[in-house]
A and B are shown apart, each in its own frame.
Chain A
Amino acid sequence: MIKLQEVTKEFNLDQQVITPVKEVSLEIGKGDFVMVIGRSGTGKSTVLNLIAGLIKPTAGTVFVEGRDLQTLSDRDMSKLRSSDMGYVFQFPSLLPSLTIIDNIAVPASFAINKSKDGGRKRAKELLGMLGLGDRLDCYPRHLSAGEQKRAVIARSLMNEPKILLADEPTSDLDEQTEREIMGLLKQINDSGVTIVMVTHSLGLVPFCTRAYSMDKGKLNLTHANNKSGAK
């Protein structure tokens, strides 16, 4: 489903070349829940962005659903992101000028098969499922951090993706909210969605099927489960 082959990514920052990802190879199958763990600045998010096609590798190849991302045009890449991937950013990523229901419905605008109501019905369902059914017409600023995260997860599921990419989805959340969010991601994974999640919290490892630690640009398998752990 997802395959990274000898992928390297370099950035030029102030005339200095940094290499957050060095010759990384990784295979993720359908239904996997993979975590990439590491401290800040170790290149975890870069791996996620490479899989999402939000940046291009300096060397190596990234395949998603058998398609080499580097060969895709911007239009095809956008189509792939819209139809097959959901993305949860680390930072608050709801659009501040839109209500929650409109935020959740945004991906429907990019869907190949557009619904007549602009995705509002599904957005409503998703928000209801995630316990935000009474916050449809609120603006993001009216939601707590945990509610915003749930809304972002709802948005990532809008186009029924096969892959969910989550960048530190529980950062800045209290312990209880963190467990709620992880429970939610687990449910999503159980429904057949492949999840690749980046986190610095080792405590979350029991939720995944495989965990990799990232250090100096390299990925090392640190944990493998046939079944996910703690709830």
Chain B
Amino acid sequence: MSIFRLAYNNIRGSAFRSMVIFMCVLGVASFLLGTTLVISGAQNSLNVGIQRLGADILVVPEGAQTQVETALLMGKPTNVWMPDSKVAEIAAIPGVEAVSPQIYLQSLYGAACCSVSEMFLVVYDPATDFTIKPWLEKELGRPLNTGEVIGGSYIFVPTGQTSIKLYGYNTDLVGNLEATGTGIDQTLFMSTATAEAMAKSSLTTAVQPLLIPSGQISEVMVKIVPGADRHKVALDILSGVLGVVPLESPNMFGQFRHQMTGLLWGFVAIMVVFWILSAVLIGLVFSMAANERRREIAVLRALGATRFYVFRSILAEAVILAFSGAVIGVTLATFVIYLFRTYITSSLGMPFLFPGWGSFIGMVAAGTAFILLTVVLAALWPAYRVSRMEPAIAARE
């Protein structure tokens, strides 16, 4: 009989004890993977989102940083304005290679003239744009015509309709950007010509006209000269252009990152406490089990089992319970996170993009290895102690 078969039979024979260990392992594994997935999903989402923005620096009106970051991060529409004269001022800063203004709009809430409610709309200038253009060239091979829009990965034409109606104006969705897990996924992008046509049409077709303040923009996307110091350029913009704040793309969503770090440490603290308690509990349960089974172990020794065999048979039980608990725990966590990702991320107020297969498998493997190690370490001392007992003494006790 193999050690694993003996261990498996022992597990079956002590259902309650095995269930306690199994549940502990399952809890630690699912919590560990769940929190890692949420945190790394948020990190992944931020990185992909920033990459999607495609600018080195984002210049926004002074005091509007949080609003803009929230809009980009969570897709919550916002209206922020600054004079379009800032575009030329920013373009004149040394180290700036290209600038392109964008305007933030939103669809109406619960209005019949809009087929989607409160959607974040971003208007770009095709003449200067360098963020949407590469995608259009690659995917469509042409610029957007008036009346055409592209959307984030969550944007779709409502069922039964052929276009997305905004302010009573029909727009054709000609493509979707790759998922980022941020608010970009819930954002609709259109050219200035489309926005102007929509504003004009809204005067007669919408319950409320679309008003785009003349000579106003919401933000400026900045591309810096290759090799230029991004931070220095940002400082120059801050000091040289009044009433604006530059947001360096790698440092964007700073407040959110700060919150996320806090959350991460909170998770880590809970995890460590949970892990220690579980390891102690598992160790205690194995100690109790080893004590309970002294006679069985004495019998095995009398039948010819070596100390090492006894030691390995207890560790084999630990490995089976740890492995099955970890596999079921990580599977459960993956399903829960995947199915409820929208609810979880909106509850926690963080973006989420499921990590790539490579990093996901890495996380699962590392998590399983960590759990295995924990359980084996917890079982190590009881296994060693009982394997060293004199069989005859063990049998009598």
State the A residues within 8 Å of B (CB): 45-46, 49, 52, 54-56, 74-75, 78-79, 81-83, 87, 89, 91, 93, 95-98, 102, 105-111, 118, 155, 159
Nearest 5 Cβ contacts at the A-B interface: A82-B304, A97-B13, A110-B304, A49-B392, A54-B392
Q: Is the CB of A54 within 8 A of B391?
A: yes
In the bound complex, residues from chain A placing their C-beta under 8 Å from that of B299 are 89, 93, 95
With A91-B295, A91-B395, A97-B10: A106-B306 Cβ-Cβ less than 8 Å: no
- Taking the closest CB of chain B, its distance from the CB of A167, in whole angstroms, is 9
Q: Is the CB of B306 within 8 A of A54?
A: no
B307 within 8 A of A: yes
In the bound complex, residues from chain A placing their C-beta under 8 Å from that of B309 are 78, 110
Kindly list 18 other residue pairs between chains A and B, CB separation below 8 angstroms, not including A49-B392, A54-B302.
A46-B392, A55-B390, A55-B391, A74-B308, A78-B306, A81-B302, A87-B303, A89-B302, A91-B295, A91-B395, A93-B295, A96-B13, A97-B9, A97-B12, A97-B14, A102-B1, A110-B309, A111-B304
B139 within 8 A of A: no
Q: Is the CB of A155 within 8 A of B303?
A: yes
B305 within 8 A of A: yes
B388 to chain A: closest residue by CB: A74
- CB under 8 Å from chain A, chain B span 370-397: 390-393, 395
A-B contact pairs, 9 of them (CB 8 A): A49-B392, A54-B391, A79-B304, A95-B300, A98-B9, A102-B9, A105-B1, A111-B304, A155-B303
Contact with A along B184-214 (1 / 0, CB 8 A): 0000000000000000000000000000000
Query: Which of A56, A108, A109, A111 has the most CB atoms of chain B within a 10 A radius of its CB?
Result: A109
Q: Is the CB of A87 within 8 A of B306?
A: no
Q: Which of A54, A87, A111 contacts B390 (CB 8 A)?
A: A54
CA–CA, A87 to B302, complex, Å?
7
In the bound complex, residues from chain A placing their C-beta under 8 Å from that of B42 are none
Q: Is the interface of B mostly helix, strand, loop or mixed?
A: helix
- CB under 8 Å from chain A, chain B span 285-337: 295-296, 298-309
- Taking the closest CB of chain A, its distance from the CB of B390, in whole angstroms, is 5
CA–CA, A55 to B301, complex, Å?
11
CA–CA, A82 to B309, complex, Å?
13
CA–CA, A125 to B309, complex, Å?
27
B393 to chain A: closest residue by CB: A55
CA–CA, A82 to B298, complex, Å?
14
Q: Which of A49, A81, A97, A118 contacts B303 (CB 8 A)?
A: A81
In the bound complex, residues from chain B placing their C-beta under 8 Å from that of A78 are 301, 304-307, 309
Q: Is the CB of B302 within 8 A of A106?
A: no
Q: Is the CB of A89 within 8 A of B395?
A: yes
Q: Which of B2, B9, B14, B303 contacts A110 (CB 8 A)?
A: B303
A93 to chain B: closest residue by CB: B299
CA–CA, A56 to B390, complex, Å?
9
CA–CA, A54 to B298, complex, Å?
9
CA–CA, A107 to B309, complex, Å?
12
B387 to chain A: closest residue by CB: A74
With A93-B295, A102-B1: A159-B304 Cβ-Cβ less than 8 Å: yes
CA–CA, A111 to B306, complex, Å?
12
B8 to chain A: closest residue by CB: A97
CA–CA, A56 to B304, complex, Å?
16
- Taking the closest CB of chain B, its distance from the CB of A221, in whole angstroms, is 25
In the bound complex, residues from chain B placing their C-beta under 8 Å from that of A79 are 304
- Taking the closest CB of chain B, its distance from the CB of A57, in whole angstroms, is 12
In the bound complex, residues from chain A placing their C-beta under 8 Å from that of B301 are 54, 78, 81
- Taking the closest CB of chain B, its distance from the CB of A161, in whole angstroms, is 10
- Taking the closest CB of chain A, its distance from the CB of B8, in whole angstroms, is 9
Q: Which of B1, B14, B304 contacts A118 (CB 8 A)?
A: B1
A90 to chain B: closest residue by CB: B395
In the bound complex, residues from chain B placing their C-beta under 8 Å from that of A93 are 295, 299
- Taking the closest CB of chain B, its distance from the CB of A156, in whole angstroms, is 8
CA–CA, A52 to B302, complex, Å?
7
B306 to chain A: closest residue by CB: A78
In the bound complex, residues from chain B placing their C-beta under 8 Å from that of A49 are 391-392
CA–CA, A118 to B6, complex, Å?
13
